[in-house]
Structure 1
Amino acid sequence: MRLVCISDTHSMHRQVPVPDGDILIHAGDCLGVGTLEELEDLDNWFSEQPHRHKILIAGNHDWCLQDEPEEAEALVRNAIYLRDSGTEIEGLKFWGSPWTPVFFDWAFNLARGEAIAERWAQIPADTDVLITHGPPAGILDEVIMATQSQQMISAKPSESVGCEDLARELERLKLKMHIFGHIHESHGQETRNDCLFVNASTCTANYKPLNPPIVVDL
């Protein structure tokens, strides 16, 4: 089964060349400002894609899905929307969750520790593919730190900002794949303990939709 993974399109989805596949997965921050109008345009775009299945979760920019959930979710007609919920497609079990640790005052933020750990504890043990908006700690989660003299140096300091509580929860799961975004600078993929981790952020650190979709045959 061919999975095509994108994330953090920030309403620039029409600028993304999306390859064909069986399942198109969007790991959140699909909207720019977070309006219902943006979400309706995204859903129209989903209807134009050739993939047999589409899966969407929200991210910290997707305000209408947090603040107007009934109205917003009703607009998602051409994708399976997951919010702490799962779906099974051709024998593969998917689980999606939008939460990220608190950073300023964004949507779908929860405090590190008990509050966010409760969400991760809901992930079923038999999940094959986990979709979260943010990464686990230590895996494709490094953000570039701005400094006053950055333009004068070639080495850019970075900081790991992923969720430690999510990383701990992964120890009980036997995932085949974990898809996320959120940290634009860490776009890419790597394998650990037989699980493929994919940071599918489409936008770069400068919010340009230049990172290519990540295609995986699972």
Structure 2
Amino acid sequence: MRLVCISDTHSMHRQVAVPDGDVLIHAGDCLGVGTLEELEDLDNWLSEQPHRHKILIAGNHDWCLQDEPAEAEALLRHAIYLRDSGTEIEGVRFWGSPWTPIFFDWAFNLARGPAIAERWAQIPAATDVLITHGPPAGILDQVFTAKDSLSVGCEDLARELERLAVKLHIFGHIHEGYGQQTLNYRLYVNASTCTGQYKPMNPPIVLDI
């Protein structure tokens, strides 16, 4: 099965050259300001993609999926939308969740500690591919300031991953963390399409599993 992974397109999806594959995965921040009109355009674009399956989760910019969930989800006719839920494709078990630790006042934010840990506790132990919007702490989660770099991933997610047999974890959110890292036999993928300057220049990450 060939997975094609993107994230953080911020309504610039039409500027992305997406290679063919079996499953197109979008790990959130698909919208710019988070309107239903942007989401409808995204769904039209998804309908044009050749992949047999498409999976989408929300991110902190995707306001309509938080604030108008019924209307927004009705627009998603060409993707499997996961919100603390899962799907199985050809025997591979996927789970998707949009939450990130509180950072200013964004969508799908929860406080670190029990509030967000409760969401991670819902991830089934048998999950093969985990899709979250944000990274776990210490994995492709560095942001850079004028003086240093900071690890801003979720400690609660990192702890939850210790109990899981997840083979592949796909996320985005931290644009500067784009890339792949293998740790303890698990592959982590930060598929952020946009750079730190919000330019959609990072190519999709293609994986065969």
Q: TM-score, normalised by structure 1?
A: 0.95
Report the equivalent of 1:181. Answer: 172
Partner SS for 1:174: coil
Report the equivalent of 2:198. Answer: 207
Report the equivalent of 1:124. Answer: 124
Give runs of aligned pairs for residues 130-145 of structure 1, distance below 5 A.
130-145=130-145
The percent identity for this pair of structures is 85
1:93 aligns with 2:84: no
Report the equivalent of 1:22. Answer: 22
1:170 aligns with 2:169: no
How many pairs align?
A: 209
Partner SS for 1:25: strand
- 1:95-149 CA-to-partner distances (Å, cap 9, x unmatched) read 000000000000000000000000000000000000000000000000111x3xx
CA distance in 1, matches of 2:165, 2:185: 9
Give the deviation of 1:176 after TM superposition: 1.0
CA distance in 1, matches of 2:183, 2:208: 17
Partner SS for 2:130: strand
Give the deviation of 1:157 after TM superposition: 2.0
CA distance in 1, matches of 2:65, 2:148: 34
Partner SS for 1:44: helix
Instruction: State the structure with more CA Rg.
Output: 1
Moved over 4 A (4+): none
Q: What letter is aligned with 2:57?
A: I
Give the deviation of 1:188 after TM superposition: 0.1
Partner SS for 2:122: coil
- Structure 1 regions of 5+ residues with no counterpart? 148-155
CA distance in 1, matches of 2:16, 2:182: 25
The match for 2:150 among 137, 159, 172 is 159
Q: What letter is aligned with 1:213?
A: P
Partner SS for 2:95: strand
Give runs of aligned pairs for residues 48-127 of structure 1, distance below 5 A.
48-127=48-127
CA distance in 2, matches of 1:133, 1:43: 19
Report the equivalent of 2:46. Answer: 46
Give the deviation of 1:207 after TM superposition: 0.2
Give the deviation of 1:35 after TM superposition: 0.1
- Structure 2 regions of 5+ residues with no counterpart? none
CA distance in 2, matches of 1:58, 1:159: 24
